[in-house]
Amino acid sequence: MDLSTTIAGVRFPSCFMNASGALCVTREELLALGRSRAGAIVTKSMTVEPRDGNPTPRYYAFPGGSINSMGLPNLGYRAYAALIPELKSFGKPVIASVAGLCEDDFPTIAAIINAAKPDLIEVNLSCPNIPGKPQIGYDAEASERLLKRVRKVITVPMGVKLPPYFDPAHHTAMGEVIGRCGVDFLNLINSVGNGLVVDPERETVVIKPKGGFGGLGGTIIKPVALANVRAFWKIFEGQISIIGTGGVVHGVDAFEHLLCGASAVQIGTVLVEEGVSVFGRLETELAAQLSKKGYAKLEDCRGKLKEL
């Protein structure tokens, strides 16, 4: 079955791709994504200077998901800019994820990365793991200021990676910001920030940074991810492409994201756990689910969630 899709006018050969952060920091990891069945190559969120990230252990997987406090380990934007031509040779879209340690970093990075011509740029407003730096996406004014600055220097389709919101008032407020900033696509959601996983046997936290607090991913966050996809799909009446991220472990999870309004889905925790062979498995599972439900292609079910 054809599982290709389109995000902000760019065609993706498959609707499955890595979530930023999952197996996409080094050149070797990015090339492995290029050779895999992933429908795109998404880079790790980049900062101005290369970073080692937070002290280890900083990632921990458990039966329901994962917790991480990586702390933006990345090669620095100059290295990713230099890699983009090689990544584009795989014939699938390259999404550059732009972050920063302060507001001024974002336009600096965005301008140079844009000149390297990735197919799309994703602006990460939602890293939960830099000690002392709140998630920008929880500050509507700061988000608007930053998005207007980066929009001026970005000429490829621009998306925004948002943190999860837990109240319709926050969906509305960010929806209004997004509507004023020329955003071409949304990626929903980043990890559920500042969770705490406890090992009752050792009576300890499971990751070292920030006293054990970190971003949650995987199955346990799926309902939060689906709610955010659905809320923004409704706000924009299906007119802004949405990438659904959060809790996609099986093909049926991707189907649920599509029903809520996603056009593609990204894979974080289960990609780290299974490796790049996960993409082939997910394609098989989603194709089986779509056939079983009588859908011939992705668009036929997109946003079609029924209410009671």
Alpha carbon distance 35, 91 (integer Å): 10
**191 is a site residue for ligand RRO (CB under 6 A):** yes
R_g of the chain computed on alpha carbons: 18
Selected binder of ligand RRO within 5, 124, 187, 289 (CB under 6 A): 124
Closer residue to ligand RRO, CB minimum distance, 70 or 264: 70
Q: Taking the mean position of all CA atoms in its chain, how far away is CA 198?
A: 26
Alpha carbon distance 157, 7 (integer Å): 9
In the residue annotation, 127 being an active-site residue is answered as: yes
Nearest approach in angstroms of CB 231 to ligand RRO is: 20
**244 is a site residue for ligand RRO (CB under 6 A):** no
Q: Which of 15, 24, 127, 181 is catalytic?
A: 127
For the segment 86-105, give every residue that binds ligand RRO (CB under 6 A): 99
Number of C-beta neighbours around residue 20 at 10 A: 27
Q: How many residues bind ligand RRO (CB under 6 A)?
A: 16
Nearest residue to 97 (alpha-carbon basis) of 266, 288, 249, 233:
266
Alpha carbon distance 280, 36 (integer Å): 8
Q: Any bridge partners for residue 215, and if so which?
A: 68
Taking CB under 6 A as the binding criterion, the range among 70-78, 199-207, 243-251, 254-262 that sits at the site for ligand RRO is: 70-78
Largest CA distance in the chain: 52
Closer residue to ligand RRO, CB minimum distance, 128 or 303: 128
**68 is a site residue for ligand RRO (CB under 6 A):** yes
Alpha carbon distance 49, 105 (integer Å): 10
Nearest approach in angstroms of CB 97 to ligand RRO is: 8
**125 is a site residue for ligand RRO (CB under 6 A):** no
One character per residue 26-65, x = contact with ligand RRO (rule: CB under 6 A): -------------------x--------------------
Alpha carbon distance 36, 16 (integer Å): 11
**129 is a site residue for ligand RRO (CB under 6 A):** yes
Q: Give the strands of the sheet with 65-68, arranged side by side.
A: 59-62, 65-68, 213-217, 192-196
Nearest approach in angstroms of CB 214 to ligand RRO is: 7
Taking CB under 6 A as the binding criterion, the range among 67-75, 225-233, 247-255, 259-267 that sits at the site for ligand RRO is: 67-75
Q: Calculate the alpha carbon distances from 12 to 133, 260, 298, 306 in Å.
A: 34, 19, 12, 27
Binding site residues, ligand RRO, CB under 6 A: 21, 45, 68-72, 99, 124, 126-129, 190-191, 215
